[in-house]
Structure 1
Amino acid sequence: MAMDPLSLQEYICSLDPATLPRIIRICSGVYFQGSVYEISGNECCLSTGDLLKVTAVALQKVVCEDTETGQTTELPPTFKGLFQPAPAPAPRLTPQGPLLQGGRQRGLTLHQVLGQWDRWPQPLLCHAIGPRALLLHPVYEVHAVMHLRRDVVKIPSSLEVDVEDVTEEAQHVHFARPLLLSEVLAMEEALPAQARILEGPAGPAIFESSWVPRLQRGQQLQLHGRSCTWRVLASAPGSSRHFLLSSAYQGRFRQRPRRFTGVRELAGGLQPGRCLRVVVTQDCEGRGRDVPPLGVGDRLEARGLWGNGPGTHLLCHRHGGEEEEEEGEDLLLPLDLGGSFVEEGCDSKKYGLVELLAQQALPCEVRVVAPDPGLERDTLGTLPALRLEARLDQPFLVGSFCDEPEEGFEIPPRWLDLSVLLSEEPVHPPAPCTRRSRVEELTEAFYYRLLAQLPGGTAPPPPRPPKPAPAGTGPGGRHPSAPSPPPARTRLASPLPPLPTPARPSTYGWRGPPRDAGTESDSAEHDYETVDNNVQKTIHKMQTIFPF
C-alpha cells in the first residue's frame, strides 16, 4: 500500500538502503507539471505523476545547524568526530519516543547517527565542533532511473518535491531506456527488432541519400542485424563528387592509366619490385647536360629512387624512338622537375570490385565499363574516371522503414548515430534488399574527414588555385640564377622530401623548373614550344599504347 506523501528529504533520510530499488511517484512541490531544472549539467524534467526508480543513495554532505545562533557549517562524509545526545531540560524525542542508542556511553560516528535518524533531527553535541547543541541535516545524492532517459538521473535529496512510495503497486512498470545505434550494434542477440527514433542524427549530413532525411523523431524502423559488407572510399577526379562503394557493388571496372604531374608524383607511383612505364604528354625543358629535355611521346621507365635528402633523384630509362637505332639512355631526374606523364601498358581486362582490389593496390584509377545491373541508375557509369582511395571496414547495420519493409539501407552507427527505443513488436523475415546502399554519395566535408582518418597521414585540403610565385623566382621558389643540386648516386633514398611550390603558368603554358644559370642561354631557341606541331604524331602514339 502506498504511504502518505513526504518531502523527498524526509523520504530519503528514512529510507533503508537494503530495500533498494524503490519506486516513487512525484506528488507535488516546486517542480511540477513539467518544470525543467539542471542536474549534474543535464536538463531534467519532473512532472506530477512521474515515476522514478531509486537505485542508490550516496551521502554528499551534512549541514550542521547551531540551535542557538542558527549558523550552519558543512561536514564532509569523512568527518571523524563523535556525537552524543545533548542534555536538555526536556529531551527532544522522536514521535516514537527512542533517544539515540549508545550515544551517552561512548559517542557515535556521523554515519551511526544518520543510521538512527528517523525523519526529525535530534540535538547533539560534538566536542570537535563546539560546546553548543547541533542539528544535523544530511544531503544525499539520489540515483534514479526515469522512463525514456538514457542516463541515470542524480537528484539532491534537498530538492523541494513531495513523493510517495508506490513500489508494491508499480512492480509491473518497465522503465524503457533509449539506446544509440552504436549500442545496438553490440546487441546482435536482440536483433532483428523494431525501433522508434527518439532523436535523429546530430551534426552535418554525411550522405547525399534520399533515405537519410527520413531518419527523424517518431519514425518507425526495422533493424535486421549487422551488414557483412565492407566499403571503398572513392572520388571522381576533376569534380567534387565522392562516394562509398559497397563490396556488394556489381559493376565492372577497367583500370585507367594513371596520370602524374611532375617527377615527384611519378616517384610516388612506384610500387616495390615493379617498374612504372609512362609516356610524356607535355614538353619539359631540361637542366643543362645532366638533365636533358623531355618531349611529348617520350617513353620512360621509372625504376627507383637514388640519393638522399634534397639530392634525391628518380632513376629512369628513356627508350629510343621508333625511328631511332639507339636503345635508349638512363636518366636521373630531380624530384622537383615538372612535366606531365601518363601510365602505359595498363591492363584492359574487366574486373569486379572484389577481384580488382585483390590484384591492384590502392589508390588506383578506374572507369566503370559495365554499370551495376541491380541499380535503377548507376551514377558511377556516367563518370569518365573514378579514383579508388582506400578500403574501409566500418561496421554497418541493415535497416528498413516499417512502411517499406522490403527496401532496406545500410547505416554506419559510428558515423550516423541515432537515439532509438526498441519495441517488443516482431520483425518478420526475409531481410530487405539493400541495393540502394551499394553506392552512397558523400558530402564533400565528410569525404575529407574520412580521408584525414586514413592510416598514413592527414588528408589534403580541398583543392585551391596555385599561388603566384614572388617576382624574380622560379616555379620551385628558387631564383633562376641559383645552381641546381648535382645528382647523387649513393643509395636508395629514404622518404621523399617536402613537395615543391606548384609551377606557375607562362605565356607558353605550364613551365617546368628553371634552367641552370651559365649552362643555357636565354635565346628564343630555348623557349617552350606548344604541342600543336606534334599533335598528329602524339595521337598516333597514344592510339597504339592505350586500349581506350
Structure 2
Amino acid sequence: MALSLEEFVYSLDLRTLPRVLEIQSGIYFEGSVYEMFGNECCLSTGEVIKITGLKIKKMMAEICEGAIGGSESLKPFELPMNFPGLFKVMADKTPYLSIEEITRTVNIGPGRLGQPCFYHLKDLKLQNLIIKQGEPIRFNSVEEINGEMLMNCGVVRNHQSHSFMLPLSQEGEFYECEDEHIYTLKEIVEWKIPKNRTRTVKLTDFSNKWDSSNPFPEDFYGTLILKPVYEIQGVLKFQKDIVRILPSLDVEVKDITDSYDANWFLQLLSTDDLFEMTSKEFPVVAEVIEISQGNQLPQSILQREKTIVIHKKYQASRILASEIRSNFPKRHFLIPISYKGKFKRRPREFPTAYDLQIAKSKKETLHVVATKAFHTLHKELSPVSVGDQFLVRHSETTEVVFEGTRKVNILTCEKLLSKTHEEARLPLYMEGGFVEVIHDKKQYQISELCAQFCWPFNVKVAVRDLSIKDDILAATPGLQLEEDITDSYLLISDFANPGECWEIPMSRLNMTVRLVNSSHLPADAGLLQVRSFVEEITEEQYYMMRRYESSLSHPPPRPPKHPSAEEMKLTLLSLAEDTTVNLPKSLKSHHVDRPRKLHPNESGQDCRAPIGFQNDLADVERQKNKHGPLQ
C-alpha cells in the first residue's frame, strides 16, 4: 500500500531500520536525484532507496503564551543545537494507548536517559504483581522472548526494585511521569523528544559565555514548545553517498523491505552502528564515506574515500584536565596515560577550611599559607592572619561556649612560627583562603602523578612531548588534573600503511563508513604500535563527562554547618573597622585558580560540595556584600 512520505515517517518504528522503499509517485527532473541545500528534493517514480536513519535536522522553539509579560508575541524561531542552556522537561499530557506506541515514539536504551517512566490510569493486574493506578513504571528495554516482543519494566517499592514484563500489545492509557532531572538541549534531542510529538520544556539556566546572540527576550526563564524538524537518511542503489530527504517532500512510497534483496545497496555504518557490533565481528576493512569536520586526528589518518582497518572497540583511560586561568573560557583536555611530556606540581587554592580537610593526604603533609584573615569570638578556636603558615593534621569535634555549649567540627593544624610550632584549631565552616606551598621540585610522568597524588591537583608542563608535532598542553599556563575517566574508542589503522594504530573516540567523532571485502587483513593490533593523542573537548562535553562520572560515585561527606546568622552578625559588627591586609610578595607569584569542584577525599573518590553547602557559602558571600568583609 502506497503512503505519503510523511505518513511513512509517522508510522516508522526506528527499531525496524533499515527499510527499503520504492517511489510510487515521485517528482521527476531529468534524473533520479537532484540535490538542493544538502537535501534530496527530487525522486523519480520507480526509484528504490534504503532508509538507514531518521534524525532531527533542526529544532524550532515557540514561547508559550503567558511566559513573557505584556502582549509581546514571538514567532517560532530556530534554537541552535549547541545552545548552552539547561531545561526541565514537562510531562506530556497526551496519553499513549499501548506499549507498542511507546516503543515507536520514545527512545528507549541503556542508561538513565533511555529509561523513561510512565504511569497507568488504572490498576494493571499481572500474574504475580498488581501495578497500582498512578504508580511510576520504569521502562528499561525491549526484549524478545520465545518470539514475543516484551517490555522489561520495573517498579520501586520500599526501596526495592521489582521487575516484570509487559507485552507490546498491552493496551491502556499510559502517561509520562513528572521528570525532576535537568537536561541539555543535546540530551533532549537524543532522548527526550517523542517522535512526531512536540516537547514542552522550561528554561532553567543559560550560560552567559555563549558567543552567539541570545534568542530569548531579556531575563526570560519561561516555558517553550520544542518542535523538531526531521530528515530521512538513506542510500540509493549503487551509490555510496548518503542522501538526506525532508519528510515533507511530496512523494508516495511503498515499503518493499520483505521482497527486496538489500545486498544491492552498499552497507553503510555510522559510529553508533560500529559501537553496536560485537567484538567477534572485528577487525573489518572500511572506506570512509563521511567524517565530521574539526576532528583532531591527522588528515592522513581519516579523510573521505580513505580505506582503513577498524581493529576493535574497547574502553581506554583518559585524564580529564582543565586549564588554570582567571579569565573565561577555559580549555578542557583528555590526556592519555601514554603522554610522554613531564609535569611539575603547582600550588592549589582552597577557599575554606573544609577544602583543606578533604584535600589532606596520608602520603604528604599539606602545607598552606593563609591569604585571608579570620577572627573568632571563641577562645576555643584560633584566629588567622594573612601570611600565617599551617601544616594540616586531622579533623575532630570540639566544644565552644556560645549561648550555652555547642559542638563544632574543627581542623587541627600546626601553625609554623619563626622558631617553634603551635597548635591551631580552625572551624571547618571558616570562610578563609589558603594557597598550597609546594616543596616538590621533581618532574613527573602523568602515570606517576596519578599513582602518587589524590585528585585534583595542579601541574604545569615542564618538558613537552617531543613525539607530538604540536603539543597543545605545553602552551597552557597550568593544568588542573581532575579525575581518571574511562571512554569508548575504536582502534584504526591505514590499510595501505598499517604500521601504527590510532585510538579515536566513538562519542565525539561522527563518521560513516562502508564495509569493504578484503581477504588480506593486516597483522593483529596487539603487534602494532598504538598511538593516542591529547584531545581538546568542548565545555559541554566536559560537563557531561563530569556529570556521568559523578553519577557513579558515592555521595560526598556531609558538609559542616557555618555559624548561626546571629553569630555572624556579632562578628561583622565587632570587625567593621578592620582593614584589609595586603598579601606578601612571595605569594603574588603563585598562579592559582579556585577549583570548580570540591576536592576528592583521600581515597581519590570524587567529592563535590552538595547544593546546600554551596548555598551556605553563597549566604556568607551575600553577608559580605551587605556588611563589608567577613574576616
- Relative distance call for 1:498 and 1:420 in structure 2 (3 A) is farther
Structure 1 residue 343, shift from structure 2 partner: 4.2
| 1:16 matched residue in structure 2 | none
> Residue 59 of structure 1 corresponds to which residue in structure 2?
none
Aligned to 2:472: 379
Question: How has the CA–CA distance of structure 1 residues 216 and 383 changed in structure 2, closer, same or farther, with 3 Å as cutoff?
Answer: closer
**Residue 242 of structure 1 contacts residue 444 of structure 1 at CA under 8 Å; is this kept in 2?**
yes
How far did residue 303 of structure 1 move? 1.3
Query: Quick one: structure 1 residues 214 and 514, their matched pair in 2 at CA, closer, same or farther if it must change by over 3 Å?
Result: farther
Change (3 A) 1:25 1:499: same
1:331 to 403, 411, 425: 425
State the AA in 2 paired with 1:516.
T
Post-superposition shift, 1:183?
Answer: 2.7
Determine if the alignment matches structure 1 residue 241 to structure 2 residue 324. no
Aligned to 1:306: 397
CA distance in 1, matches of 2:257, 2:346: 74
Q: Distance in 1 between matches of 2:434 and 2:256?
A: 81
Structure 1 gaps of 5+ residues are 1-6, 10-22, 37-41, 54-143, 151-158, 459-492, 501-512, 540-548
Q: What does residue 508 of structure 2 align with?
A: 415
In the other structure, the counterpart of 1:112 is: none
Instruction: Please say if 1:529 is aligned against 2:581.
Output: yes
Inter-CA distance 262–445: structure 2 relative to 1 (3 Å threshold): same
Distance (whole Å) between structure 2 residues aligned to residue 332 and residue 231 of structure 1? 37
Query: CA 1:330–1:376 in structure 2 vs 1: closer, same or farther (change >3 Å)?
Result: same
Please state how far the C-alpha of 1:456 moved relative to its aligned partner: 4.9
Q: How does 1:514-525 map to 2 (within 5 A)?
A: 516=571, 522=577
Rg larger for: 1
SS of the equivalent of 2:543 reads helix
Q: CA separation in 1, counterparts of 2:254 and 2:390?
A: 88
**Aligned partner (choices 414, 423, 426) of residue 318 of structure 1:** 414
Deviation at 1:287? 2.1
Cα distance 1:413–1:527, how it changes in 2: closer, same or farther (>3 A)? same
The residue correspondences of 1:48-67 to structure 2 (distance < 5 A) are 50=47
1:280 touches 1:300 (CA, 8 Å); kept in 2?
Answer: no
Bigger strand share = 2
1:260 Cα deviation after fit:
1.6
Superposition map of 1:121-520 within 5 A: 147=237, 173-185=263-275, 186-201=277-292, 209=296, 211=298, 218=305, 220-226=307-313, 229-238=316-325, 240-271=330-361, 276-288=365-377, 289=379, 290-304=381-395, 306=397, 313-324=409-420, 327-344=421-438, 347-400=440-493, 409-425=502-518, 426-429=520-523, 435=531, 437-456=532-551, 495-496=558-559, 516=571
Amino acid in structure 2 at the alignment position of 1:233:
L
1:77-113 deviation digits (Å, cap 9, x = unpaired): xxxxxxxxxxxxxxxxxxxxxxxxxxxxxxxxxxxxx
Q: Is this contact kept in 2: 1:365–1:388, CA < 8 A?
A: yes
In the superposition, relative to structure 1, how do residues 293 and 422 fare at CA in structure 2: closer, same or farther (>3 Å)? same
Query: Shift of residue 283 of structure 1?
Result: 4.4
Tell me how far apart the structure 2 counterparts of residues 341 and 51 of structure 1 sit (CA, whole Å).
Answer: 68
Question: Residues of 2 paired with 1:282 and 1:24: CA distance?
Answer: 69
Take 1:164 and 1:267, find their aligned partners in 2: how far apart are those partners? 67
**Residues 291 and 394 (structure 1 numbering): CA distance in 2 closer, same or farther, change over 3 Å?**
same
Q: 1:315 to 1:49 in 2, by over 3 A?
A: same
What pairs with 1:47-86 in structure 2 (closer than 5 Å)?
Answer: 47=44, 50=47
Q: What amino acid sits opposite 2:559 in the alignment?
A: L
Q: Is the Cα–Cα contact under 8 Å of residues 287 and 516 in structure 1 kept in the other structure?
A: yes
Going from structure 1 to structure 2, the CA distance change for 1:321 and 1:52 (only over 3 Å counts) comes to closer
Aligned equivalents of 1:387 and 1:49: distance in 2?
60
Task: Tell whether the 8 Å contact from 2:371 to 2:432 is kept in structure 1 after alignment.
Answer: no
1:217-241 CA-to-partner distances (Å, cap 9, x unmatched) read 6554442333674211111211622
Give yes or no for contact 2:391–2:416 (8 Å, CA) kept in 1. no
1:125 maps to none
Q: CA 1:164–1:224 in 2, change beyond 3 Å: closer, same or farther? A: closer
| Distance (whole Å) between structure 2 residues aligned to residue 354 and residue 495 of structure 1 | 31
TM-aligned CA deviation for residue 245 of structure 1: 0.8
- 2:394–2:412 contact (8 Å) kept in structure 1: yes
One-letter amino acid of the structure 1 residue matched with residue 580 of structure 2: Y
> Contact 1:311 / 1:334 at 8 angstroms: preserved in 2?
no
Separation in 2 of the partners of 1:497 and 1:210? 47
TM-score (norm 1): 0.51
Q: Is the 8 A contact 2:23 2:252 kept in 1?
A: no
Alignment partner of 1:529: what SS?
Answer: coil
In 2, Cα distance between equivalents of 1:161 and 1:256: 65
CA deviation after TM superposition for structure 1 residue 374, in Å: 1.9
- Root-mean-square deviation (CA, aligned residues, Å) is 5.2
Structure 1's 319 and 262: CA in aligned 2 closer, same or farther, altered over 3 A? same
After superposition, the Cα gap between the structure-2 partners of 1:145 and 1:342, relative to the gap in structure 1 and judged at 3 Å, is closer
CA contact (8 A) 1:280 1:299 kept: yes
Task: State whether residues 275 and 302 of structure 1, in contact with CA within 8 Å, keep that contact through their aligned partners in structure 2.
Answer: no
Q: 1:165, 1:409 → 2: CA distance?
A: 37
Q: Residue 213 of structure 2 corresponds to which residue in structure 1?
A: none
**Structure 2: which amino acid aligns with 1:237?**
I
- Give the conservation status (yes or no) of the 8 Å contact 2:386–2:581: no
The answer as to whether partners of 2:2 and 2:254 remain within 8 angstroms in 1 is: yes
Letter in 1 for 2:571: D
Distance (Å, rounded) in 2 between the aligned partners of 1:162 and 1:331? 79
**Contact 2:308–2:494, Cα closer than 8 Å, also in 1:** yes
Describe the shift of the 1:181–1:304 C-alpha distance in structure 2 as closer, same or farther (beyond 3 A): same
- Number of matched pairs: 358
